[in-house]
Chain A
């Protein structure tokens, strides 16, 4: 610290932003020529990864500015990783699977699902509509949530506006004509009314969609859930032996109730696990709980 600081009762500590303006002001009593103050570090700009923070101390009219600087530790990132995990179900069904790519990016967990198409024609417009619907349900389902550092001193009510202690989620779904696909989906043209529409199902093998599906709001997003590791949440379905996803959900949601697109924290638990497996030992949880 530069500058002489005579012994006085109270010191003022200003936390400086990268541009030199004051972010926060603390005060601390001076005892035996030293003082201690605690600043709960908080990112001040979207450039928190490169911002430098110095401290300015004032006592008895004299001001000292720190030579050392504070920098935020950055969250690790990863390349794309193929997720390929079977999760056995109850009731004799085939396992649900995590079968997609995942990547930890600077500010989010990013999933990529590549689908191939066989069977009846499913043209560009239908592909775009299905892609948009599935992405919207799964991405909007996380819109009011965040992955949040468990060790953040601001706790679950953290109001930090930037992503230093928070991360988002994104799912991209794309139909691939040539090249690697995670899942091939056979399209069946549903019969005209009043006949029942073709049932859809997705898994490691034998995936199939009715076009149009039984429920135009929820069928494709629900089935996609089965290749994102999600179980059914009604008693007669492919339910979760561990019980993390209840076999009879009291809350209507995408995996429990036809026509419902609500998603809950438990539906993003594998994305959270991916983050925690790659966050260099700095654990995260989903907020709000």
Chain B
């Protein structure tokens, strides 16, 4: 089936699904708003490339056999908040949309189509344009339970990108900057409730020289650049030992003071920290 556009949404983060858009020329744009399912890949962002003709033709073939419009899906049955996948096929004459959740079997042909689209998304994700990557380092906990760490935001894309300033996220009711902590022990001995979360209480930026607003609401980071912040949080009383920790940067606001910003949740990779 010749298509004008395919839109594929994968609701890893329900408020801001991963979005893959492919047009007839093979131009593919992928927006990632969460790395929750790929925590070792500590970034979200916008990616873009042009797919090989063979890939586009393979996708067109998958839409024909069996016809995409005839595939049974879960429309009207997916519970709000469930992890859904949505495929919208736009041709010159019609738009066909399919939706599947996690609670019922997925038609095999639809499942194969989703597999191909996930594969394409991973392929496009190798071509960053605007990236928010976060890294946690220099994490330490004092004997009084104060935790400090350095959070670095970087952009490995080819274009500058605007982020919500972590300093201005502290205490906001529509954003979270937090640290997740759990004991460093074998996965077989670990439970989900072993992890606890503390809100970052202060974030301090390294101020550039030469003036400018001290803590602007939005930071623009050029390609291949980074900015660091010193974080401070207070831990509840915890058993002494070695722990793993990671930062969570989450904002679902698409614009701050009229300026578009990167939206979503991004988890840093874990670092070890010792509770004395």
B174 at the interface (CB under 8 A from A): yes
B residues 57-104 in Cβ contact with A at 8 Å: 75-84, 86, 97, 99, 102-104
Q: Mark B174-208, 1 if CB is under 8 A from A, else 0.
A: 10100010100001001111110100000000000
Number of residues in B with C-beta < 8 Å to the partner?
45
Query: In the complex the two chains form, is B195's CB within 8 Å of A193's CB?
Result: yes
A45 to chain B, nearest CB (A): 41
Are B79 and A206 neighbours in the complex by a CB distance under 8 Å?
A: yes
Shortest beta-carbon distance from A117 to chain B in Å: 17
Point out the residues of chain B lying under 8 angstroms from A212, CB to CB.
192-193
Secondary structure at the B interface, as helix, strand, loop or mixed, is loop
A133 to B14: give the CA distance in the assembly, Å.
Answer: 22
Given known contacts A194-B267, A199-B102, A258-B15, A252 and B80 CB-to-CB distance under 8 angstroms = no
Contact B81 A201 (CB under 8 A): yes
Contacts of B77 in A (CB 8 A): 94, 206
Asked whether any CB of chain B lies closer than 8 Å to the CB of A236, the reply is yes
CB distance from A81 to the nearest CB of B (A): 25
Task: Check if B81 sits within 8 Å of A236, measured CB to CB.
Answer: no
What is the distance, in angstroms, from B84's C-beta to the closest C-beta of chain A?
Answer: 8
Q: Would B192 and A192 count as touching, CB distance under 8 A?
A: yes
Asked if A260 lies at the interface with its beta carbon under 8 angstroms from chain B, I say yes
Contact assessment for B36 and A196 in the assembled complex, using a CB-CB cutoff below 8 Å: yes
A167 CB-CB contact with B under 8 Å: no
**How many angstroms between the C-alpha atoms of A142 and B193 in the bound complex?**
30
Interface contact B80-A231, CB-CB below 8 Å: yes
Distance in Å from the Cβ of B72 to the closest Cβ of chain A?
Answer: 14
Q: Chain B's nearest CB lies how many Å from the CB of A260?
A: 6
| Chain B: CB-nearest residue to A253 | B173
Q: Which of A53-91 contact B (CB under 8 A)?
A: 89
A200 part of interface (Cβ distance < 8 Å): yes
For residue A259, which residues in chain B have a CB less than 8 angstroms away from its CB? 176
Closest residue of chain B to A203 (Cβ to Cβ) is B79
**Within 8 Å CB of B83, what residues of A?**
199
Which chain A residues border B173 with CB–CB below 8 Å?
252, 257, 260, 262
Distance of A208 Cα from B83 Cα, bound (Å): 12
* Contact assessment for A192 and B82 in the assembled complex, using a CB-CB cutoff below 8 Å: no
Q: Which residues of A contact B252 (CB under 8 A)?
A: 234, 257-258
Interface residue? A267 (CB, 8 A): no
Instruction: Provide the bound-state CA to CA distance between A189 and B97, in Å.
Output: 32
Say whether A92 contacts B86, CB under 8 Å: yes
How far, in Å, is A89 (CB) from chain B's closest CB? 6
